[in-house]
Amino acid sequence: MAARAASTDLHARIPVSGLLKHLPNLLTGLRLVSAPAVAFLLMGGDDRAALGLFAFAGLSDAADGFLAKRFGFATRFGQYLDPAADKLLMLASFVTLTILGIAPLWLTAIVIGRDLAIIAGVILVSLFDLPARVEPLFVGKLSTACQIAYVALALVLLSAGLDWPRWLHVAALATAFATVVSWAGYGNVLFKALIARNRQSA
């Protein structure tokens, strides 16, 4: 009787585990959808709703990362989808804040340029089979954290109706510096890979 009950519990848990395994990808998918939604809300003047959705996106990012690592729910699809969702959210936020005259154009250009450079680098590594590991660097994570903090600060100030241009300017300079350092870090990885490839060919 006990064995039958244990078997029943096991079968009952299997479907739940299967659903939980896809939860990180579901959260990432919601974050992907939240990117254009944040832009739409900002353009419509719904600053508090945009802030709430941006906060949800940040929490979902932390949650899906925890679930993927803690319970081994990471998938190959999720490894590509997760950074794509982060990049799209940052892109939508910075472009919209620039259109609204909040984020300076030069900062948005640096942020977008860095991401385009990373994508170009990954393509080069793949096309020419360069000896480089395609993985996030610490400076890259720091850059992303600064970008998120900048957008969050801008949304908080908008939601509260506060005009603190000096604070935003300082935050913009810090974000730009971290982004440029990250850009240089990934460029250094690509440069070393090119040198190593040339030595192998020689």
pLDDT tens for the 202 residues of the chain, in order? 444 444 444 444 444 455 566 666 777 788 888 999 999 999 999 999 999 999 988 887 777 666 666 666 555 555 656 778 888 999 999 999 999 999 999 999 999 999 998 888 888 888 877 777 767 788 988 999 999 999 999 999 999 999 899 999 999 999 999 999 999 998 888 888 888 877 777 6
Taking the alpha carbons of 106, 109, 115, 119 in that order, is the dihedral positive or negative?
A: negative
What is the model's pLDDT at position 132? 75
pLDDT at site 38: 95
What phi-psi label fits residue 184: left (phi over 0), alpha (psi between -120 and 50 degrees) or beta? alpha
Q: How many CB atoms lie within 10 A of CB 78?
A: 21
Amino acid at 10: L
What are the φ/ψ torsions at residue 123 (nearest 5 degrees)? -65, -40
Where do the domains of the chain lie, and which CATH numbers do they carry?
2-201 (1.20.120.1760)
Treating both helix axes as pointing N-terminal to C-terminal, what angle do 47-70 and 138-160 enclose, rounded to 10 degrees? 150
pLDDT of residue 76: 58
DSSP code of 61?
H
